[in-house]
Structure formats: C-alpha cells, structure tokens
Amino acid sequence: MADKVLESTPDVLIDFDRSEQSDLRTEEMLVNMGPQHPSTHGVLRLVLRTDGEMVLEAIPHIGYLHRCAEKIGENLQPYQYIPYTDRMDYLAGMNNNQAFALAVERLCGVRVPPRGQAIRVIFAELNRIASHLVSLGCYGLDMGAFTPFLYCFREREMILDLFEAACGARLTYSYLTIGGAHDDLPDGWIDRCREFLDYFEPKIDDYNNLLSFNHIFVKRTGRVGIISLADAIAWGLTGPCLRASGIRWDLRKVLPYDGYEKYDFDVPIGRTGGSGEIPDGVAVGDSWSRYYVRMLEMTQSVRIIRQALDQLPPGDFRAPKCTNLKLPANEVYVEVENPRGQLGFLVVGDGSAIPSRVKARGPCFCNLSITTHVCRNVLLADVPAIIGSIDVVMGEVDR
C-alpha cells in the first residue's frame, strides 16, 4: 500500500521552484475601496493601485451625494436657503447656518444684536464639541476601539438634547439664521447647559485614557500620513488638519466674527512626541496629531461657552426684518471656522431678493484633495487611518 502511494506521488508533487517564484511575484492590482466601505465615513470611493500590502496610489472619486446645492441657492431667498446649509456638513449644522447667515448679513449690512451673537457663539461651540465627538469616536472605531465610540455618542446625545430644547431639531437645526438666532433660549436652558459642561469636562480625561494615549492606538496612528506644513498650505488645508501640521492659525483669532475677539481661548497645534503629555512615536502633522488637536479643541470650546454664558447680554436675539431682504448688487466672500476647517460662502446679489450666485467652499472638499499626495506608498491598513484623521463629511464634499 505504502509503495503504491509513493509510486503515484511524483505526478502530484509540487514543483517547488515554480511555486516559490509565483509566491514572490508581485503585480499591481486596482482595488475599489468604497463607496460603501465603513471606514470611509460616507460615500467616498477610493481606487487604490496596490502592490501586495502597499498602496502605490489612491485616487478619490466623489460626487455620490451631489445635490447641486449651489443651484438651489440661486432659486431661493437667503432665509429659505438656511435649511439647505444644514444638509451640507450635517454633523455641524449650526456652524453652516452661521457661515451663510454671516455672508448674507455682510452683504445686506444687517447688524446682529449682542445677545444674538453670544447665542451663536454658544451654539457654534456646542456643535463643534458634538462634531468632534463623532469624529473621535468614529476614528477609534476605524482603528478597532469600540468603547470610546459609545462614550462619545453618550455625551453627544446630551448636546443634541440641548439643541432640541432650543430649536426642536436634533440634526438639521436651521436655528442660527440671518440676523441672529431664530428663537431666544428657553427658560432654564442656561442652567442645563452649565450642568452639561460640568459633567462633560472631566470626560475628556476618560477619552484620553481610553484612546488617545492607548499604546496600540498611538502605534497605529503615530507617524502615519504625515502632512508637512508646506504641503498643508499648498493644498489649502484648514481647521484641525492645518493646525496639526504645527501652525497656530484659527479664523476665530485671525478674522474674528460674531464677537469671538471677546473670548479668551487657546489654539492647540500638533506637537512633536515625547514632550509633555504627547507620547513618543508621534510627529507633527501625522494622523495622531490631527486626532489630538480635535481633543484639545473641545476643552477650548468648553472655555468659550462658559465665558459666553457668563457674559450673555440681555436684549434682542435677532435683528428686526430679516426675511425678504433685498440683496444689493454687490458680492461678499465670508469664511468661518467650522469644526472641519474653514467654510466659505460667496454670495452675489443683483438687486432682487434672490442671489444670482451662491458658492460654498467646503473645508472637507479641500482637505480631501490632498489624499492622493498623502496616500502614496503607504500600507493598505494605513489608508483608513489617514482618511479617518482628515475627518471628511461627504455631504459637504459633494454638496
């Protein structure tokens, strides 16, 4: 029996020389990542040119969520367009409302009363915290850490409750509108907000212990996808992505709007590893820095909200007669500091009530355009780490 087997084996014996060659042989392969890949945060499709585990080139394909919001803006009066801005960066509706309202106010010469400005600052900063919580939680999820995501969403839920109490909506608010805010703060809201801030501030240490300084997480994101300051400037990056590359640049300080100059806050930037609380193995401009800048920004937002609540002036929350505005034949370009970067609106009026052109400059659109440059010769597993740290919201990339 044994002899028979031995006799028959030569036919099926593997030719080791050939198999070794075919194992070592590499060839380029195109891999579609998305549009439904969970770690691309929405409908982003990347075509990856891979060689084994290496990504030689990543080409983003966008537009799956395109609704031509700019064309809609040419058919509506500005106050009717506010709800459409909610749906651009749907994680930061308040900030989008504020950006468009500021552009129209500057075009029409509307002056927002001090209470309206303070309400705007409070809600913009609350929304910044809520947006960063989603960003941080999902980033942890991308890297295989499930728990921080649940904690982040628990706290975000409380912010959404505050928003719901003020305007009735939990995602698409349309609360900050032309001339100020749509309604005044409800009774007891200020105390509820203070309660939340007292509860929330110590939680940031929890996130840091759970995720930021977790050894595996630092290994996974440190020195991955480094964007130099020169590249960040050349590609027009803004927001945490730019600050992580080491420049203290924040539109709230450079070109203050809605009274941001009255508040005292710091602008966190990416720093080299090994100094202070920054762990070893991270570098300025890497994925970990982009993540951690957002973490630090939440503390600053809490500081701003506390000051705004303490100084909240009495009086009107909205300038009178802000619907049916006639837009003069003029144009403005206004940018504000959104959680993801600088959101800009170019509004061109022609003397009628409907603008002749509304152009939105989405921060994620510009931040995402550096993907091809950064995802060159990286490991496949690093691509989600890089995309997640850029923190894109496709609703605003595609508009």
Partner 1 sequence: MAPEEICRLLKGRFGEAVEDTVLAVGHPYARIAADRWPEVAVFLRDDPRLGFNVLRCISALDLLSEEKLACVYDLYHVPLEQPTVLKTQTHEFAVRVVVDRSNPAIPSVAHVWPAADWHEREAYDLMGIEFSGHPDLRRILCPDDWNGHPLRKDYEFPLEYHDIPATTEFELTNPRH
Element (H, E) at 264: none
Q: Which of 342, 375, 389, 395 binds partner 1 (CB under 8 A)?
A: 342
Using CB under 8 A as the binding rule, whether residue 364 contacts partner 1 is answered as no
Q: Which of 48, 55, 82, 107 binds partner 1 (CB under 8 A)?
A: 107
Question: Contacts with partner 1: how many residues (CB under 8 A)?
Answer: 42
Residue 198 tokens read as 């007292």
CA–CA gap between residue 206 and residue 216 (Å, rounded): 17
CA–CA gap between residue 193 and residue 189 (Å, rounded): 6
> What's CA 47's distance to the chain center, in Å?
22
Using CB under 8 A as the binding rule, whether residue 182 contacts partner 1 is answered as no
User: Coil, helix or strand for 54?
Assistant: strand
In the numeric block, the tokens 């709007």 are attached to: 257
Q: Which of 332, 353, 354, 380 binds partner 1 (CB under 8 A)?
A: 332
Using CB under 8 A as the binding rule, whether residue 253 contacts partner 1 is answered as yes
Burial pattern 13-52, b for ≥16 Cβ within 10 A else e, equals: eeeeeeeeeeeeeeeeeeeebbbebebbbbbbbbebebee
Using CB under 8 A as the binding rule, whether residue 47 contacts partner 1 is answered as no
Nearer to partner 1, 211 or 241 (CB): 241
Using CB under 8 A as the binding rule, whether residue 111 contacts partner 1 is answered as no
Q: Which of 260, 291, 317, 365 binds partner 1 (CB under 8 A)?
A: 365
Using CB under 8 A as the binding rule, whether residue 246 contacts partner 1 is answered as yes
Q: Are 274 and 280 in contact (CB under 8 A)?
A: yes
Q: Which of 190, 229, 312, 354 binds partner 1 (CB under 8 A)?
A: 229
Burial pattern 128-155, b for ≥16 Cβ within 10 A else e, equals: bbbbbbbbbbbbbbbbebeebbebbeeb
Using CB under 8 A as the binding rule, whether residue 66 contacts partner 1 is answered as yes
CA–CA gap between residue 81 and residue 174 (Å, rounded): 9
CA–CA gap between residue 242 and residue 238 (Å, rounded): 5
Question: Interface with partner 1 by CB under 8 A: which range of 60-68, 122-130, 301-309, 380-388?
Answer: 60-68
Selection from 188, 162, 187 nearest residue 175 by Cα: 162
Using CB under 8 A as the binding rule, whether residue 72 contacts partner 1 is answered as no
Q: How far is the CB of 372 from partner 1 (least distance, A)?
A: 9
Using CB under 8 A as the binding rule, whether residue 63 contacts partner 1 is answered as yes
Backbone phi, then psi, for 348, in 5-degree steps?
Answer: -115, 125
Nearer to partner 1, 210 or 255 (CB): 255
Q: Are 227 and 285 in contact (CB under 8 A)?
A: yes
Using CB under 8 A as the binding rule, whether residue 150 contacts partner 1 is answered as no
With a CB cutoff of 8 Å and minimum separation 6, the contacts of 261 are none
Q: How far is the CB of 321 from partner 1 (least distance, A)?
A: 20
Binding mask 286-325 for partner 1 (x = CB under 8 A): ----------------------------------------
Using CB under 8 A as the binding rule, whether residue 269 contacts partner 1 is answered as yes
Using CB under 8 A as the binding rule, whether residue 239 contacts partner 1 is answered as no
Q: Are 270 and 292 in contact (CB under 8 A)?
A: yes
Using CB under 8 A as the binding rule, whether residue 68 contacts partner 1 is answered as yes
Q: Which of 258, 382, 391, 398 binds partner 1 (CB under 8 A)?
A: 398
Q: How far is the CB of 337 from partner 1 (least distance, A)?
A: 13
Using CB under 8 A as the binding rule, whether residue 43 contacts partner 1 is answered as no
Nearer to partner 1, 170 or 373 (CB): 373
Using CB under 8 A as the binding rule, whether residue 373 contacts partner 1 is answered as yes
CA–CA gap between residue 250 and residue 242 (Å, rounded): 9
Q: Which of 149, 151, 200, 249 binds partner 1 (CB under 8 A)?
A: 249
Residues in a beta bridge with 343: 336
- Identify the DSSP state of 256: -
Using CB under 8 A as the binding rule, whether residue 234 contacts partner 1 is answered as yes
Question: Interface with partner 1 by CB under 8 A: which range of 11-19, 31-39, 66-74, 141-149?
Answer: 66-74
With a CB cutoff of 8 Å and minimum separation 6, the contacts of 333 are 103, 344, 345, 346
Residues near partner 1 (CB under 8 A):
62-63, 66, 68, 70-71, 106-107, 229-230, 233-236, 246-250, 253-255, 267, 269, 330-333, 335, 342, 344, 346, 348, 357, 359, 361, 365-366, 369, 373, 398-399
